[in-house]
Amino acid sequence: MNRPMKRFVFSLVLIFVVVIGGTAGYMLIEGWTGFDSLYMTIITITTVGFEEVHHLTDSGRLFTLILIIFGVSTILYTFNNAARIVIEGEIQEIFGRKKLEKKIKGLRGHYIICGYGRMGKVICRELREKNAFFVVIERERVPTDAPEDEMLFIWGDATRDDVLKEAGIERAAGLISVLSTDAENLYVVLSARVLNPKLNIVARAGEEGSEEKLLRAGADRVVSPYHIGGLRIAHSMLKPAVVDFIEFATKSGNIDLQMEEVIVKEGAKVAEATLDECGIGRELGIIIVAIKRRGGEMLFNPTSKTLIKAGDVLIGMGEQSKLRVLEAMAGKP
């Protein structure tokens, strides 16, 4: 409980104590019934101006004066705490919103995650492991497992254009839509493609046949968790060693072995040189599994004489520290 709420609860307790004390006081001093004493206490501390229940003695009048002072002060204190909770809450919400908008406006080349369900949490965890910048759009407020400074949330409907614009879709590098239904993902893909034609979009497909529709709507890639999950289970039974190797090579935080893709920039050290001349395998101990050409052609298991060109994507496997060296050689800032 925050401090204003604690004060408000404390003031309610004070009111209760004043009411009980006033009722007991009238019963002892004037000898009234419990109901008459309670009624007299309430009309006194609320200053409604009704007449006295019974004629008061001098002792009763003195007690009433004391009750008015304590009662009115307690009620004013309670109203003050209640107003403070409302006003401070609104101010904090306004400043929090402004702070969030400022952070999002400063992002360039970030990712937008639509949906923070079971898949969304896994995706966010992986992006955080890679120190990637991203914004999460979720319809309903849900508890998160990360501090607000590490994750930016927009609580709204991802199918609406204004919410996507608030997430900085015009400046984003990619969008991942993992909402609960294929229809919602389809709306997001359509809106995102119109708002940013260059955006890299990955969408989730739940039902059979939705993959083709999402691709036609503008998604670059569509992932079906049930299809992939089924294949993974089958391969775990038929090819357990292969599955273990893939998990080992793609698991986040694995310092022994990691698979990465490295884009070769113009003027990079490795551009226009063969794999043997670059010394990627000999000096760094990195295995180049495949090379994706600028036009989309995929070269699997390239030889030492294969020429690396600017714009190529090198899919390499090796230690994380060595892969960072390769990224530097490829011209990554």
Query: Domain holding 282: CATH number?
Result: 3.30.70.1450
- Same domain as 121, residue 89: no
Domain-embedded: residue 93: yes
Domain-embedded: residue 239: no
pLDDT-above-70 percentage for the chain: 89
Q: What is the pLDDT averaged over residues 3-14?
A: 80
Instruction: Tell me what pLDDT residue 324 has.
Output: 85
As a whole number, the mean pLDDT across the chain is: 84
- Same domain as 152, residue 74: no
Instruction: Tell me what pLDDT residue 82 has.
Output: 79
- pLDDT interval class at 64 (50, 70, 90): confident
Cβ of 313: how many Cβ atoms within 10 Å? 15
- pLDDT interval class at 300 (50, 70, 90): confident
Residue written as token pair 């019974």: 54
Domain-embedded: residue 248: no
Cβ of 26: how many Cβ atoms within 10 Å? 27
- pLDDT interval class at 92 (50, 70, 90): low
Q: What is the pLDDT averaged over residues 215-230?
A: 89
Domain-embedded: residue 36: yes
Instruction: Tell me what pLDDT residue 333 has.
Output: 47
- Same domain as 99, residue 119: no
- Identify the residue with better confidence: 129 or 94: 129
- Same domain as 98, residue 122: no
Choose the final residue of a domain: 75, 103, 131.
Answer: 103
Number of residues in the chain = 333
The predicted-structure confidence for 31-53, as pLDDT tens digits, reads as follows: 888 898 898 888 888 888 777 88
CA separation for the pair 160, 198 (Å, rounded): 19
pLDDT at 275 over 80: yes
- Same domain as 96, residue 122: no
Cβ of 119: how many Cβ atoms within 10 Å? 17
- Same domain as 117, residue 15: no
List, edge to edge, every strand of the sheet that includes 258-263.
Answer: 258-263, 313-318, 287-292, 298-300
The predicted-structure confidence for 152-178, as pLDDT tens digits, reads as follows: 888 889 999 999 999 999 999 999 999
Q: What is the pLDDT averaged over residues 200-210?
A: 89
- Same domain as 305, residue 222: no
- Same domain as 145, residue 193: yes
Three-state SS sequence of 90-142: HHHHHHHHHHHHHHHHCCCCCEEEECCCHHHHHHHHHHHHCCCCEEEEECCCC
Instruction: Tell me what pLDDT residue 118 has.
Output: 87
| Alpha-carbon distance values, 37 to 11, 27, 49 (Å) | 22, 6, 16
| Whole-prediction pTM | 0.60
- pLDDT interval class at 144 (50, 70, 90): low
- Same domain as 129, residue 81: no
- Same domain as 99, residue 115: no
Instruction: Tell me what pLDDT residue 244 has.
Output: 79
- Same domain as 199, residue 97: no
CA separation for the pair 120, 184 (Å, rounded): 15
CA separation for the pair 12, 287 (Å, rounded): 70
- Same domain as 214, residue 160: yes
Number of domains within the chain: 3
Both tokens of 244, joined, read 């273990």
Domain-embedded: residue 259: yes
Environment class of 301 (CB within 10 Å of its CB; exposed 0-12, middle 13-18, buried 19+) = exposed
| Alpha-carbon distance values, 235 to 48, 68, 243, 287, 289 (Å) | 79, 80, 7, 24, 21
Q: What is the pLDDT averaged over residues 54-79?
A: 86
Give the CATH number, domain containing residue 55.
1.10.287.70
Domain-embedded: residue 214: yes
Which of 51-55, 170-174, 212-216, 254-258 shows the lowest mean pLDDT across its residues?
A: 254-258
CA separation for the pair 40, 49 (Å, rounded): 11
Domain-embedded: residue 249: no
Give me the domain span that covers residue 311.
255-329
- Three-state DSSP at 271 gives coil
Domain-embedded: residue 194: yes
